Amino acid sequence: MGSGTPWELFYTKLRRAGPYRTSDVRHAPPAVPSRPIPQPLRMQLTDQEKTRRENLTKLRELGIEPFPAALFPVSHLATDILSGVETDAEGNVTNFKEVTLAGRIMSQRIMGKAAFANLQDSSGRIQLYVSRDDIAPGEDKTMYNTVFKKLLDLGDFIGVKGFVFKTKTGETSVHVKELTFLGKSLRPLPTPKRDDEGHVYDEFKDPELRHRMRYVDLTVNPKIKETFRKRSRLITAMRQFLDDLDLMEVETPVLQPIHGGAAARPFKTHHNTLDVPMYLRIANELYLKRLIIGGFDGVYEFAKIFRNEGMDRTHNPEFTMVEFYVAYKDYNWMMDTTEQLLEHAVKAVNGDASTVVRIGENDVDFGGPYRRLSMADAIREYTGENIDGADEDELRAIAGRLHVPVDKTMGRGKLIDEIFGETVEAKLIQPTFITDYPVEMSPLTKKHRSKEGLVERFELIVNGKELANAYSELNDPIDQRERFEEQLELGKRGDEEAMALDEDFLRALEYGMPPTAGIGIGIDRLVMLLTGQKSIQEVLFFPQMKPEK
């Protein structure tokens, strides 16, 4: 490239101003002395990137600011027009005489003195019709010949003002009278196309690229927005339901000195001023119970939880749970409430009165009441084996007969859990409450009011997977201390997931806690169910990724 071209001048200016003003540079991690300084600047631009930068410069030379500061007064969304257009007997559009829209240019079909383009806004796409003599009415045709045809690139944000009409082929379109640049795109977007039969060509589908560059994914695959809209509607509906129950939304610490309330490996960090180790929470349960102890009758929190464990299509290191705790209730009440909550939420997500969700081959109905089955009854029903009162040796024999793999370290509780998980869980497609778990697996749960060796706990299983976990909360501080001590023993034997003893929580319990029902519902898993997504990465905007090379 010769010097002195607009591009070259622009490029030189940029270099003089300091490197390429992207936030990459400012927020780059400080260089580690022992390693080479990472080179964040991609000085090698592709032809298409160079062209776009040249176009940017040329726009400025023509007095057109590609990144204007002023607000742009949008009057309509694309879908408002597509769904609201009215025509008379001759097929002429009778409304939308003046509309102003803004969005990205996603395609251009130029035919000499006229052109069609597609504008994509947050609601969808609408076709634009641009004719030379309309946007360049005088002698000077620069606005059309140069600005529209040459300097406008796919992906640019523009605003248009015009009127609505239908083309010969009947497509509702905006006849553009005025075009405003709102934000130039300097990189070419992937260009998926769809034909009349709905076949998509050149789809942008590499999961890694889609997740790393979710902004591109959302732009070129706008359908995926629907998953995230459903996620948002779900959370809104759940919040509304919990508010209507007179529960209070609260926030509790993410940074915790002791990672309690669940069995999982934590992320460890360090607080400099206090000079103490800290953990990102693996649960918020113990804090919510402290609030019940403090006198709130009902609290809930939509909580980001962090667990330092494997990553796969159902596990992300950070995920979202809603937990709520209600005083003077028990797990039976919580089952009733959970049915109502999910029924309400699923209707909101579906957008109608339907409580049915199609999941794979099955229609799953979230309308209550759900089947309630004790763990022992479930195992009896699905395997014919009776685990009631079985000791450890008998359980091993049962596991053997059912071909459930077990190992020597497993105690009674773990054996029952394995038998259930291997033989029953996957078969429970419709929402089912499995109740009354072995005490060994549930250190925070109240002992069963009538069944020896069990606790008042339920899990909600849907489509063969756990969706929620709830208890009558253990409020006897002496029992709680014993349970923690059993966990400490497990920890000493090498169980990395054993729960830590939280002395302050025990102190709180000793001041007295009302009987309380509590539950945690995995939001990401629920969204996966309700949107038919098979991987958690598809229901998180920004799933955790390995660092980009």
Partner RNA sequence: GAGCCCCUAGCUCAGCUGGCUAGAGCACCUCACUUUUAAUGAGGGGGUCCAGGGUUCGAGCCCCUGGGGGCUCACCA
Shortest separation between residue 316's beta carbon and RNA, angstroms: 5
Q: Which is nearer to RNA, 129 or 296 (CB)?
A: 129
Instruction: Enumerate the H helices of 245-315 as residue ranges.
Output: 285-293
Q: Which is nearer to RNA, 354 or 409 (CB)?
A: 409
Residues 443-482 that bind RNA (CB under 7 A): 466, 469
List the one residue from 4, 18, 30, 112 that touches RNA (CB under 7 A): 112
| Beta strand spans in 197-317 (E) | 200-201, 248-249, 255-256, 268-271, 276-280, 298-306
φ/ψ of 504, rounded to 5, equals -70, -35
- 114 touching RNA, by CB under 7 A: yes
Shortest separation between residue 454's beta carbon and RNA, angstroms: 18
Bond into 369 cis (ω within 30):
yes
> Rounded distance, CA 193 to CA 203, Å?
7
Residues 411-440 that bind RNA (CB under 7 A): 417, 421-422
- 225 touching RNA, by CB under 7 A: no
Q: With CB under 7 A as the rule, give the number of residues binding RNA.
A: 77
Segment interacting with RNA, rule: CB under 7 A, options 87-95, 314-322, 352-360, 475-483: 314-322
- 48 touching RNA, by CB under 7 A: yes
Query: Using alpha carbons only, how large is the chain's radius of gyration in Å?
Result: 30
CB 155 within 8 A of CB 105: yes
CA dist 458 → 29, 60, 175, 431 (Å) = 46, 65, 60, 12
Amino acid 332 reads N
Give SS3 for 159: strand
Segment interacting with RNA, rule: CB under 7 A, options 240-248, 257-265, 379-387, 389-397: 257-265
Shortest separation between residue 146's beta carbon and RNA, angstroms: 9
Segment interacting with RNA, rule: CB under 7 A, options 92-100, 207-215, 395-403, 480-488: 207-215
CB 312 within 8 A of CB 304: no
Q: Which is nearer to RNA, 79 or 535 (CB)?
A: 535
Strands 356-359 and 318-327: unpaired
Helix axis angle, 503-510 to 477-492, nearest 10°: 160
Residues 492-511 that bind RNA (CB under 7 A): 497
Residues 85-104 that bind RNA (CB under 7 A): none
Specify burial of residue 263 (Cβ count, 10 A radius: 0-12, 13-18, 19+).
middle
CB 119 within 8 A of CB 165: no
Residues 124-163 that bind RNA (CB under 7 A): 127, 129, 131-133, 150, 153-154
List the one residue from 248, 254, 258, 264 that touches RNA (CB under 7 A): 264
- 361 touching RNA, by CB under 7 A: no
Strands 276-280 and 268-271: antiparallel
CB 299 within 8 A of CB 292: yes
The widest CA-to-CA distance across the chain, in whole angstroms, is: 96
Segment interacting with RNA, rule: CB under 7 A, options 90-98, 170-178, 272-280, 502-510: 170-178
Mask for 321-360, x = binds RNA (CB under 7 A): ----------------------------------------
- 266 touching RNA, by CB under 7 A: no
Shortest separation between residue 418's beta carbon and RNA, angstroms: 7
Shortest separation between residue 40's beta carbon and RNA, angstroms: 14
Alpha carbon of residue 481 to chain centroid: 37
Least Cα distance to 238 among 527, 535, 529 occurs for 527
Shortest separation between residue 535's beta carbon and RNA, angstroms: 5
- 46 touching RNA, by CB under 7 A: yes
Segment interacting with RNA, rule: CB under 7 A, options 108-116, 267-275, 341-349, 354-362: 108-116
Q: Which is nearer to RNA, 319 or 433 (CB)?
A: 319
